[in-house]
Amino acid sequence: MDISGVQTSVIAGNVGQNDPVGISVLKKAMDIQEQTAIQLIQSIPELPANLGQNINVKV
C-alpha cells in the first residue's frame, strides 16, 4: 500500500499561506513524488510488436 500520497495531503492540509518552510517542504515532497512516478513509468518494459495480434480459439 502506497501512503506517500496521503503524507503529501496531510502536509498540504497543515501548511498555511504564511508558512514558507511548510510550503518549501510540500514542494520538495511533490518533486520527489514526481521523480518517483517518472522512474516507475520509465521502468515499464516495451511490449513485443506481435503481442495481442492473434487470438487462440482452441477449446
- The domains of the chain are located at 4-42
**pLDDT at residue 35 greater than cutoff 90:** yes
Buried b (16+ CB within 10 A) or exposed e, 23-46: eeebeeeeeeeeeeeeeeeeeeee
pLDDT tier at 39, thresholds 50, 70, 90: very high
* 36/44 Cα distance (integer angstroms): 13
More confident position, 15 or 32: 32
pTM for this predicted structure = 0.51
